[in-house]
Structure 1
Amino acid sequence: MDIARWSGGADPADRTVLERCRGRVLDVGCGAGRLVEALARRGHTVLGIDVSPAAVISTACRGGHARSGSVFAPVQDEGTWDTALLIDGNIGIGGDPRRLLRRLYDLVRPAGLLLVETAAREVDERRRVAIHTGRRPVSPVFPWATVGTQALVRHGRLSGWAPVEQWSSLSGERHFAVLRACP
């Protein structure tokens, strides 16, 4: 994880995501709130959710709205979000991309959008991870997935989503896809 990017402001690659957001936006795994902040400045109604209370506090300190909790628990305004975001590898949340994609399908409105940042290489793997500071773990072990664009499209189709667009950042380091919920 790139901590400087995670805690900084929206960068040029992030702005390519922001340009594709429509209407009310739900940022799943919002982290320190850089995208929530940038979307609010663009006039979007936006809510960040994150399991980390520190991330929610950071988002609020940036002037954004965020709630602490899991995407798999009840979420405010379920079924009405126009756009949902899974950026910074958050397609890995819960370690089961299809389960996560099915859950997000329930959170967006019919024909809603999902913008996902995928792995730079084609991969579809599951593992158990922990967050470390140096060599010391600072979190319990939790399930995580890493998914490339082709795997995302495959999982998406099996979960009610149709691919719309794929692109990479100008540097070629970050990769993104847009899916639309099939009505």
Structure 2
Amino acid sequence: MSWSSKRVFKRLYGSASTPADLPWHEPDPPALLVKALDARPGPGRALDVGCGAGAYSLYMASRGHAVAGIDYMPEAIELLRAGAQDTGHDITAVQADVRTWTAEQPFDVVLDVGCLHSLSAADRKTYRQQLLRWLAPGGDYILVHLGRRAWWDAWPVGPNRIYKSQLVELFAPELELHESEAEEKRGLPLLIGGSMLTMRYWFKRGA
């Protein structure tokens, strides 16, 4: 994450009291996360990578999962801890770098909403190695990020937009794409292209 991006995130998190105060907040959990949890035999261990203020960490905890949330921004972790205390959920909230953080035990579910697309191409390879350490055999990986539609869909401001084919290749052969969704949003600032493609993926790891 660049210095300028850190400054923006620090300002936004510092002025937020709840996850709903953040401009990117979505009140409902990703539909593919809900489907993945419904398909599992029961509650297990779940990791929220780049958890932010922790809205989805709290959702997974409400479904009985033992949840860990990790984020680079200490202000985000403070919001997650406050949310966990308010709701009575026991969540492990960790301020750390996803490229180097290690877990004592693997997780049955790993969720990433907006972390991967903040990383450089070189760091994505490190992320892949980390993911394979975190995700247990038979586990589910849910990813939400900005997709790239064509050669022109790259902008100097905002997250890195990634082709679907690149992601499938990045995680193969250990992770297989089970299901995906696409949503195009228009009417956005011209500085980020005026529109964007949000991609949602459900990957499964073989047992």
Shorter-normalised TM-score: what interval? 0.7 to 0.9
Measure, in 2, the Cα distance between the counterparts of 1:98 and 1:127.
22
Matched with 1:114 is: 141
Percent identical: 21
Matched with 1:66 is: 93
Aligned-pair RMSD on alpha carbons?
A: 3.5
Question: 5+ residue gaps in structure 1?
Answer: 131-143
- CA shift for structure 1 position 75: 2.5
Runs of at least 4 residues off by over 3 Å = 120-130, 168-174
8 Å Cα contact 1:27-1:86 kept in structure 2: yes
Higher strand content, 1 or 2: 1
- CA shift for structure 1 position 146: 2.9
Residues 1:157 and 2:172 aligned together = yes
Secondary structure at the aligned position of 2:59 is classed as: helix
Residues 1:14 and 2:30 aligned together = yes
Output the amino acid matched with 1:152. Answer: L
- CA shift for structure 1 position 17: 2.1
Matched with 1:104 is: 131
Q: 2:161 aligns with which of 134, 146, 163?
A: 146
- CA shift for structure 1 position 129: 7.2
Q: 1:46-102: CA deviations, max 9, x gaps?
A: 110011111111000001431110122243334x200111112x1124413232122
- 5 Å matches for 1:1-183? 7-8=19-20, 11-12=27-28, 14-21=30-37, 22=40, 23-63=44-84, 64-78=91-105, 80-88=106-114, 90-95=115-120, 96-122=123-149, 145-157=160-172, 160-168=174-182, 174-182=198-206
Measure, in 2, the Cα distance between the counterparts of 1:101 and 1:126.
22
- CA shift for structure 1 position 28: 0.6
Higher helix content, 1 or 2: 2
The TM-score, its normalising length taken from structure 2, stands at 0.65
